[in-house]
Amino acid sequence: MSNEDAVNDVFAEIRHGLSADIDVLVLSATYMKMGILTTQYTTQELHEALNTNFIRNINIVRAFLSTVNLMDSESKTGKVILDISTHSRYSRYPTQAIYSSSKLAFTHFIRHIGAEYAHTGLRIQSYHPGGILSDAVRKLGGGGDYPWDDVSLPAGLATWLASPAAAFLNGRFILSN
């Protein structure tokens, strides 16, 4: 994802294989490093968080939108970008600054893309998937008695958000739970 040319090649290969364009893009890359005080993150950890949660996602969005003609005000793409973000972008949780800040940066950045591409019909939906006990959460020590949400919650929400029925939420951040 960090090599923009390689990302473009993958998108071109997918488009060629489908003989069609790609309509929906789901972004869920995450670099999570928690349990460290905000002032104690290394420069390398900060770079990795920004590279994963921000720059790599931008490379993917650029490749996804490369077929959109910004000069054609008559054509509507119908493309949808689903940005799986985090509610912690609004809150302060001790030892989670690197995660929430880098996710917030991308979610805010993509709102600008939405404004610039609004006339094309592009929809961008950002949402918090809920408290999902994923492999990444387990690696960070998550588990126990916490009332975890079922993975079908964000999956079902993503399906609905990609549909025309959710167009009224374009550009907004919502919580799945």
Q: Among 23, 87, 85, 18, which Cα is nearest to 57's?
A: 85
Residue with tokens 């949660």: 53
| DSSP, res 54 | I
Q: Which residues share a beta bridge with 39?
A: none
Residue with tokens 């919502």: 174
Structural domains present in the chain: 4-175 (3.40.50.720)
CB 65 within 8 A of CB 79: yes
| pLDDT tens digits for range 143-164 | 878 888 888 999 999 999 999 9
| pLDDT tens digits for range 22-58 | 999 999 888 878 788 999 999 999 999 999 999 999 9
What is the separation of C-alpha 160 from the centre of its chain, rounded to a whole number of angstroms? 16
Query: Within 10 Å of residue 89's Cβ, how many Cβ atoms?
Result: 19
The C-alpha R_g of the chain, in whole angstroms, comes to 17
pLDDT at 111 > cutoff 90: yes
d(C-alpha 19, C-alpha 52), whole Å: 30
- Predicted TM-score (pTM) of the model is 0.89
d(C-alpha 56, C-alpha 68), whole Å: 20
pLDDT band at 89 (very low <50, low <70, confident <90, very high): low
C-alpha angle 128/129/130, rounded to 5°?
Answer: 95
